[in-house]
Homo-oligomer: A and B are copies of this chain.
Amino acid sequence: MPKFALLLLAWCGWGQNPALVSPAPEHQVPPHVFHKLSAQDRVLFSRLMSVELESVWAGVTAEGYPNCFINELTPLRPGARMVGRARTIRYLPNRKDLREKLYSAGPQLNYKSSEEAQPGDVLVFEAGGETRSAVTGNVTATRLMVRGGAGMVADGAFRDVPMLAAMPLQVYMLRGQAAGVAPVQMSVDYQVPVRIGGVTVIPGDILLGDMHGILVIPAAIAEKVAGRALATVEREEFQRQLLLSGESIYAVYPNLSEANRKKYEEYRKAKGQEP
């Protein structure tokens, strides 16, 4: 995008305000994830790394999913973008009979979820807002990281927070907590739909996280909305440059004025694109 911006500036004779042109951060899929991804996911994840979250949001909403953004959680690495696929675990308040039944049937689901995680997976823990106990911590995160996992999300708390913050995973949570999972809560369901910050997350959903929250993209429309967002990048950048050059907002947004529409056509023609 910065290259593109410079081109634009050169072409237009703009740039009276060079100090204002703050290049958008360039996001990349972290190496420990990228190298393990399938070819198809490499394309999808990279696309989602390169577009504005709000552009993707527009597509998700247009497809009939207006309630798709989680903004109640805090990321441990605010400057990093997260792209991944949801693997869900549901917690409930601790209760002896159910706990004994579940834990005698197999491993705790935080361990299981990290052990079974596929490259690019994000573990998503529904904890009902509970922060007096962590859902999991460093051990799960380390195994997840080795498996190529992309992040962890909880509407609750994680422990070992400084260690998590030092890993190349993104982590979203309400708060940290030193206390382990027992005796406050327990994991009860795996790979079921869950509630996080007022949004339903389904196993397999594509998650796109920025510093202000996480966009939940149903898997079936992920390619489509990623593609559509990519298509709007050029026009949005053109509009942004018009504003940076001093044009009135009324001539630029939400629609280009007649004069600017023509400029845009010429610009596209000059680049050899369809007008």
List the B residue with the shortest CB-CB distance to A128.
B195
Q: Known interface pairs A160-B54, A177-B213. Does A22 touch B193 (Cβ–Cβ under 8 Å)?
A: no
- Contact mask A161-180 → B, CB, 8 Å, 1/0? 11101111000000111110
Question: Interface SS of chain A: helix, strand, loop or mixed?
Answer: mixed
- How many residues belonging to A are interface residues under a CB distance threshold of 8 Å? 87
Complex partner residue of A131 from B20, B65, B71, CB under 8 angstroms? B71
Complex partner residue of A22 from B64, B168, B252, CB under 8 angstroms? B168
List the B residue with the shortest CB-CB distance to A253.
B139
Please give, as numbers and ranges, the residues of chain B lying within 8 Å of A177 by CB-CB distance: 69, 71, 212-213
Please give, as numbers and ranges, the residues of chain B lying within 8 Å of A152 by CB-CB distance: none
A243 and B142 within 8 A (CB):
yes
Number of copies: 6
List the B residue with the shortest CB-CB distance to A173.
B212
A253 and B178 within 8 A (CB):
no
Please give, as numbers and ranges, the residues of chain B lying within 8 Å of A211 by CB-CB distance: 161-162, 165, 176
Complex partner residue of A20 from B32, B53, B107, CB under 8 angstroms? B32
Please give, as numbers and ranges, the residues of chain B lying within 8 Å of A54 by CB-CB distance: 137-138, 159-160, 178
A95 and B139 within 8 A (CB):
no
Task: Check if A265 is an interface residue, CB within 8 A of chain B.
Answer: no
A168 and B19 within 8 A (CB):
yes
Q: Known interface pairs A179-B66, A193-B92, A253-B139. Does A52 touch B98 (Cβ–Cβ under 8 Å)?
A: no
23 contacts between A and B (CB under 8 A): A20-B32, A20-B146, A23-B166, A24-B162, A54-B159, A66-B179, A69-B177, A69-B178, A71-B157, A92-B194, A92-B200, A98-B202, A115-B248, A128-B128, A130-B198, A139-B253, A146-B246, A157-B212, A161-B211, A161-B212, A162-B210, A165-B211, A175-B212
